[in-house]
Amino acid sequence: MVNKGVYIVSARKKVAEELTKDIIIAEANRQFLTKDYYQVSMRAIAKVLDCSHGAIYYHFANKAELFYAVISQYFDEVNALLKSALLADGDSQSRTMAVFTGFIEFGLNHQSQYQFMFMMRNNEVDPLAQKAANESYEQFAQTLQHIHQQKLSISKVYSVFISLHGFVSFFLGAVENYDEAKETAIMHAKFLLDALD
């Protein structure tokens, strides 16, 4: 005869052993994107993953730490976009345009993620103060410097970044995706390209 209590404990132990950071991050990402940051809890994530909330805390100290892990993946996507533009064929102008339009395209095609990355600040979280954000901006700056053979001033690079951010921020919620603002985005990117000279 099987003891049901032993089976339940064994099943929970198996779930906890199979639970990885990636699985938790994937579910947290899903919940952050479908709810609000404040509506997501470690318990809610644990419930969907069918584990104790203690199993989540084993991997992440608190919700903010888990949120930063999710955000870090978004910055990885932006970094991959920058790397792609850097390695692309073409002259400096076409590769710079790829950086500018790629950044805008990411922002407008991933509006919720973009808001979490660049616009969410409260007493619990500040994504822009995190390592992933700083490293991503450094990669942005280094990509432009490399494309332009180290001839750009720090202030120009920063001003371009702020202008790209301003463009995305202006269109957030006003368009569904990049395609709806593509023509204007290309005009803006060309304007910024001219401003670099």
Q: What is the pTM (predicted TM-score) of this model?
A: 0.86
Instruction: Scan for tokens 């590769």, then name that residue.
Output: 95
Would you state the pLDDT for residue 96? Answer: 96
Would you state the pLDDT for residue 13? Answer: 43
Would you state the pLDDT for residue 192? Answer: 97
Would you state the pLDDT for residue 85? Answer: 87
In the chain, which residues have pLDDT < 70? 1-17
Q: Where are the alpha helices (DSSP H) in the chain?
A: 4-18, 21-34, 42-49, 53-59, 63-87, 92-109, 111-118, 131-147, 154-171, 182-196
Dist. CA 131–CA 137, nearest whole Å = 10
Would you state the pLDDT for residue 2? Answer: 45
DSSP 3-state of 172: strand
